Structure 1
Amino acid sequence: MDRISVIGDAAIEVIAASGLRGLTHRAVDRAAGLPLGSTSYYARTRAALLELTMARIVVLDRVPPRPGGLAESIAGYVSDALGPGRTRMLARYELALEATRRPELRAQYDSGGATIRRLAAEVLAAAGSAEPDRHAALVVDWMDGTIFGVLAGASAPPSRAALVTSAREVLRGIGVG
């Protein structure tokens, strides 16, 4: 793994554990197990560190469809986001809120979201969606809402089977599946 990815992963861990107030170059160096000063070599400012972290989240969010059908693939992504990907999602939501106050981060956050929605639209178009862009927004919003609700404590974590059932219902609602 390259150094920038290591720094991005460590920054995600720091944000998930300590929020944005805990995000410092030194904290990232420690979390990554790197010599002090390493993070500031690649991201001189806090803004640059936030941008590097956001870019890493977008890379990690770009997962290919899984075997077993579209509903199973969607459920797998949500399940992973609630399990092994939990820290990434916590960091992403922290950065989403920060983006409401920082126009430079907002542009990057929106661009990353557009990339994910475009990829979802391509998958849905291949599955027969009549309106893939609109349907991608609906599916991604359902996924995000489900993930956020569980991470924020508003909902209990659903089982994998429940996620597959819900994904099938969403897909049927948009005429896919």
Structure 2
Amino acid sequence: MARPREFDRAEVLTQAMHLFWQQGYERTSLKELTDTMGISAPSLYNAFGDKKALYDEAVALYSTTSAVVVPHAVGEPTARDVVAKILDVAVREYCSVEHPPGCFVISDPILADHRRDGLEAIRTRLRRAVDDGDVPADADVDALTEFVGVVLRGMSSLARDGANAETLRAVADVALSAWPAVGVDAV
């Protein structure tokens, strides 16, 4: 007969997610995970499988949190509203005291596919905005998409280095001031 778990699975998964967020998959050791989670290695393996399975579950958990920036914004009515919301969420979440600073997906090199998915969601929304006349027809959608991505990566990096929300807000405001208006040449 198996012994009942002596830990809250959701709680220790959140602790693992935060550790991976701070250090990335490669730099996080099994010992650091078990110390942070307060469980033994056999308990970790029994509850989550191996380190990679735990990481994948932590990434899946992250994708359900308010810290994920892009999905909260792509439904906004205009492209500028989409970008403004993306940047607003980034300012709020990258400096939140509820979790490590910055963006988990941006911070870990092995999450490149997730970053590409986020950029593709932005690109798709911006193409729709061009079709709707909300973004100038001659706008370079790929460049605008990369611009948003670069701003987010920079804001995440600043937050990880200790920048506060006021600093990130200033960066977001400058980025928004560069957004193309309909009837004005593209960036």
TM-score range (shorter-chain normalised) is: 0.5 to 0.7
**Kept in 2: contact 1:9–1:53 (CA 8 A):** yes
2:82 to 60, 65, 70: 70
Q: Which runs of 5+ in 2 are unaligned?
A: 1-7
Superposed CA deviations along residues 114-161 of structure 1, whole A, max 9, x for unmatched, are: 1111111122223335443442122111111122123214x5543575
What CA distance in whole angstroms lies between the structure 2 residues aligned with 1:160 and 1:142? 10
What CA distance in whole angstroms lies between the structure 1 residues aligned with 2:103 and 2:32? 13
2:92 to 80, 101, 118: 80
The equivalences for 1:11-26 within 5 A come to: 11-15=16-20, 20-21=28-29, 23-25=32-34
**Kept in 2: contact 1:71–1:168 (CA 8 A):** yes
In the alignment, is residue 89 of structure 1 matched against residue 95 of structure 2?
A: no
Between structure 1 and structure 2, the one with the greater Rg is: 2
SS of the equivalent of 1:79 reads: helix
Report sequence identity in percent. 10
What CA distance in whole angstroms lies between the structure 2 residues aligned with 1:161 and 1:95? 23
TM-score in terms of structure 2 length:
0.61
Matched length: 158
In the alignment, is residue 140 of structure 1 matched against residue 149 of structure 2?
A: yes
Query: For residue 167 of structure 1, what is the aligned residue in structure 2?
Result: 175
Aligned CA RMSD, in angstroms, stands at 3.8
What CA distance in whole angstroms lies between the structure 2 residues aligned with 1:145 and 1:125? 24
Q: Which runs of 5+ in 1 are unaligned?
A: 97-105
TM-score in terms of structure 1 length:
0.63
Superposed CA deviations along residues 100-120 of structure 1, whole A, max 9, x for unmatched, are: xxxxxx3xx122111111111
More helix by share: 1
Query: For residue 128 of structure 2, what is the aligned residue in structure 1?
Result: 126
In the alignment, is residue 57 of structure 1 matched against residue 68 of structure 2?
A: no
* Displacement after TM superposition at 1:43 (Å): 2.4
